[in-house]
């Protein structure tokens, strides 16, 4: 006989059943059980070993472009080797079975939601597999990736403009269309499910506040306390790969 679910899980399922529009905000914890390290977990997080301003800011890149390029190259390689976990798959399956009811807004720069089968995922912090130029090119013809030098990082052969990873670093604006679409979802959902984020980084964390102010129920899935727990109507203490399948596909 199957054990009775914990009372919080039962309440969470009821919230989900009642919700017409579910907005899921995910952070690094969503991909942790796939083998991608988080940023701020005390022992295992990237920021326990690396300096965020050195590696994840435009100033850090300008100061030491090859260090930052190599760090992103090694993370790209690690991300190619991992697979979506049961949490990614549960979200994708629910969205497929309930068209139009669930949207995902992610801070993650990996592609595990997409590889699990989720479509129209809003990426707030970019895509680590994409490249862009560090500086906007004022030239005509513009910098040409086909003519980039084979250096680390590659550079425009004409003006030296370096290639950078297509992610959002500290102090940079989030992509306007993505942030605006995410804000609309936060304002119009009746359930916001926040999974695996410390809630330390804005404006992403502000989406939970916005959803709550706009009348949504806020449900947080995280094994540890986060900085936005005070926004939650309900907290589920546990990991994404364990709890999301129980929440979304209980049978
Ligand atoms: C599990 C689990 C399991 C573990 N299952 N869970 C106030 C308002 C607005 C802005 C600011 C503000 N104060 C300061 C700012 C500026 C700044 C900011 O927020 N700084 C804070 C640190 C204070 N924000 C910015 O600069 C943003 N831009 C911006 O605001 O532009 C306007 C502006 C410009 C200039 C001045 C002022 C305003 C840009 C932010 C870009 C963030 N970039 C990064 C790197 C991306 C590229 C890369 O990957 O290298 O994005 S930093 C990093 O943090 C990454 C993440 O997306 C982001 C959030 O981290 P996340 O996902 O929450 O991970 P963790 O590690 O923090 O948490 C993991 C959680 O998972 C934990 O809670 C665990 O318990 C849990 N967990 N295992 C479920 N199995």
What pLDDT, in 10s, does the model give residues 106-155?
A: 999 999 999 999 998 999 999 999 999 999 988 888 888 788 999 999 99
User: For residue 130, which phi and psi values (nearest 5 degrees)?
Assistant: -90, 155
Strand partners, 160: none
User: Distance from the CA of 123 to the center of ligand 1, in angstroms?
Assistant: 13
User: Distance from the CA of 228 to the center of ligand 1, in angstroms?
Assistant: 12
User: Distance from the CA of 201 to the center of ligand 1, in angstroms?
Assistant: 3
User: For residue 161, which phi and psi values (nearest 5 degrees)?
Assistant: -55, 125
Average pLDDT over residues 215-243: 98
Residue nearest to atom 43 of ligand 1 (CA): 169
pLDDT score for 233 = 98
Residue 124 Cα: closest atom of ligand 1: 57
List, chain by chain if needed, residues with CB within 6 Å of any ligand 1 atom. 27-29, 32-33, 38-41, 45, 56, 107, 109, 125, 167-174, 196-198, 200-203, 222-224, 226, 239-240
Has 125 been annotated as catalytic? yes
Q: Which two tokens stand for residue 177?
A: 């269309």
User: Distance from the CA of 86 to the center of ligand 1, in angstroms?
Assistant: 24
Residue 198, classed as helix, strand or coil, is coil
pLDDT at 2 over 80: no
pLDDT at 239 over 90: yes
Lowest mean pLDDT among 74-78, 206-210, 247-251: 247-251
The mean predicted confidence, pLDDT, of the chain is 95
User: Distance from the CA of 202 to the center of ligand 1, in angstroms?
Assistant: 6
Cα–Cα dist 76/110, whole Å: 9
In the set 88, 113, 125, 209, the catalytic residue is 125
pLDDT score for 251 = 72
User: Distance from the CA of 106 to the center of ligand 1, in angstroms?
Assistant: 11
The residue whose CB lies within 8 Å of the most ligand 1 atoms, and thus the one to mutate among 25, 26, 27, 71, is 27
Residue 239 Cα: closest atom of ligand 1: 5
Cα–Cα dist 251/240, whole Å: 17
pLDDT score for 144 = 85
Strands 163-167 vs 126-133: parallel, antiparallel or unpaired: antiparallel
* Ramachandran area for residue 186 (φ above 0: left; ψ -120 to 50: alpha; else beta): alpha
Place of tokens 């090119």: 137
What pLDDT, in 10s, does the model give residues 47-65?
A: 999 999 999 999 999 999 9
pLDDT band at 5 (very low <50, low <70, confident <90, very high): low
- DSSP code at position 233: S
What pLDDT, in 10s, does the model give residues 84-101?
A: 999 999 999 999 999 999
Residue 199 Cα: closest atom of ligand 1: 63
The larger pLDDT score, comparing residue 6 to residue 22, is at 22
Q: Which two tokens stand for residue 57?
A: 């800011």
pLDDT score for 6 = 86
Residue nearest to atom 14 of ligand 1 (CA): 202
pLDDT at 21 over 80: yes
What does the buried/exposed string (b/e) look like for 5-22 if buried means 16 or more CB atoms within 10 Å of the residue's CB?
eeeebebbeebbeebeeb
Average pLDDT over residues 29-39: 98
Residue 196 Cα: closest atom of ligand 1: 6
pLDDT at 3 over 70: no
Cβ neighbours around 61 below 10 Å, total: 22
Could you tell me what percent of the chain has a pLDDT over 90?
Answer: 90
């Amino acid at each position: 006989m199957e054990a009775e679910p914990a009372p919080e899980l039962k309440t969470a399922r009821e919230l989900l059943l009642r919700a017409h529009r579910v907005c899921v905000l995910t952070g690094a914890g969503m991909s942790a059980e796939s083998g991608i390290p988080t940023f701020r977990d005390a022992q295992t997080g990237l920021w326990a070993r690396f300096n965020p301003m050195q590696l994840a800011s435009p100033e850090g890149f300008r100061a030491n472009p090859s260090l930052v390029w190599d760090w992103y190259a090694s993370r790209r390689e690690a991300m190619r080797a991992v697979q979506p976990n049961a949490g990614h798959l549960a979200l994708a399956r629910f969205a497929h079975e309930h068209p139009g009811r669930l949207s995902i807004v992610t801070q993650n720069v990996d592609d595990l939601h997409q590889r699990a089968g989720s479509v129209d995922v809003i990426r707030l912090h970019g895509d680590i597999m994409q490249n862009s130029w560090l500086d906007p090119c004022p030239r005509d013809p513009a910098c040409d990736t086909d003519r980039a030098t084979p250096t680390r990082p590659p550079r425009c052969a004409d003006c030296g403009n370096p290639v950078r990873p297509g992610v959002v670093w500290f102090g940079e604006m989030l992509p306007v269309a993505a942030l605006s679409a995410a804000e609309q979802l936060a304002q119009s959902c009746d359930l916001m499910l926040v999974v695996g984020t410390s809630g330390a980084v804005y404006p992403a964390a502000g989406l939970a506040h916005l959803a709550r102010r706009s009348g949504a129920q806020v449900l947080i899935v995280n094994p540890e306390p986060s900085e936005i727990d005070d926004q939650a109507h309900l907290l589920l203490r546990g990991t994404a790969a364990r709890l999301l399948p129980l929440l979304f596909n209980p049978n």
